[in-house]
Amino acid sequence: MIHAYDKSYLSKAQTTLASMLDFAVYDLNLSLAAFYGIFLASNVSLRFGSGDAALIAGKSGVELALEVLGDESLADKYHPAANRSPEYWAGWALAYFQWQTNLNFRQIDSLIPITEILAMYTPYHEMDVTHFCDKMKELYNSRKGESNLKKYRLKASLSQSQLAEISGVPVRTIQQYEQQVKNINAAKAESVIALSKALSCPVEMLMEV
C-alpha cells in the first residue's frame, strides 16, 4: 500500500493533529464538528495529508489550529492539558489512518464523520491503533460502494471491454477487480500501471483502502 508520506513524519503528525483538535475544543470552546469542518474547508487539510513538512514538522498543534482559523491572537488561550482527551485520541488515531490509507481527510469525512471517530474512543483507545484502522477500513469500504477502478472507468466513459483493449488487462480480471473479488492492491504493478494510464489517473487512486 502507498502511504501518504514518509513514515519518519508520522509520529509528529499524530501528535500535531491530536493537539490541534484538543486545543480547538477545550481552549477555544469550539465544537469538534464545527472546527473540523473549517479544517476540511481550508487548504491546510490537503497540505497536512500530503505530508507538507512545513505543517507537520514545522508547527505545533496549537499553531496549526491558529493557521486553520487565521487568527494568531488566540494563542494566549492555550493551557496545557493534564490528561489526553478523547478528542486528542481522535486526532492521533485519525492521523495514523490517513497516513496508512493515503486517503485525504475530505475523502474520509465524506463517509466517516469526525464525531463518529470520536465515538470510537471507547473501546479503541485501549487497543493498538491497527485495530482502529481495521474498523475504519471496514466502515469506509462498506459505505463506499463501487470500487475505485469502476468509478474511474465510468468517469472515462469506457466499457469493461474497451478498458481491457486499451490497457491489455483481461476483461475478466477487470470484472473481478470491480466486483472486489480480487484485490487490486495485490495486482501486478504492470497491470495497475496499464489501467491507470488507460484511465488517465494516478496509480494510487485505483488502490482500495
Same domain, 140 and 154: no
* Whether the bond into 123 is cis, omega within 30 of 0: yes
Same domain, 103 and 127: yes
Q: Do residues 100 and 133 lie in contact, with contact meaning Cβ atoms separated by under 8 Å?
A: yes
Range of the domain at 175: 148-206
Hey, which bits of the chain come out as E strands? none
pLDDT tens digit string along 16-67? 999 999 999 999 999 999 999 999 999 999 999 999 999 999 999 999 999 9
pLDDT recorded at residue 1: 65
Same domain, 63 and 80: yes
pLDDT at 2 over 80: no
pLDDT at 82 over 80: no
The answer to whether position 41 is within a domain reads: yes
Q: Name the residue among 99, 79, 78, 85 with its Cα closest to residue 14.
A: 99
pLDDT at 9 over 70: yes
pLDDT recorded at residue 79: 85
pLDDT recorded at residue 136: 97
Same domain, 91 and 11: yes
CA distance 124 to 85: 13
Q: Do residues 85 and 92 lie in contact, with contact meaning Cβ atoms separated by under 8 Å?
A: no
Q: What is the domain-level CATH number for residue 199?
A: 1.10.260.40
CA distance 122 to 132: 11
Residue ending a domain, among 96, 119, 144, is 144
CA distance 102 to 49: 8
Same domain, 96 and 174: no
Query: How many independent structural domains does the chain possess?
Result: 2
Same domain, 72 and 36: yes
pLDDT tens digit string along 85-101? 999 999 999 999 999 99
pLDDT tens digit string along 109-167? 989 999 999 999 999 999 999 999 999 999 998 888 889 999 999 999 999 999 999 99
Q: Do residues 175 and 147 lie in contact, with contact meaning Cβ atoms separated by under 8 Å?
A: no
Same domain, 152 and 127: no
pLDDT tens digit string along 169-206? 999 999 999 988 888 988 999 999 999 999 999 998 89
Residue ending a domain, among 144, 160, 183, is 144
pLDDT recorded at residue 96: 98
- Model confidence, pTM: 0.78
pLDDT recorded at residue 128: 98
More confident residue, 60 or 77: 60
Same domain, 154 and 184: yes
The answer to whether position 2 is within a domain reads: no
CA distance 58 to 16: 10
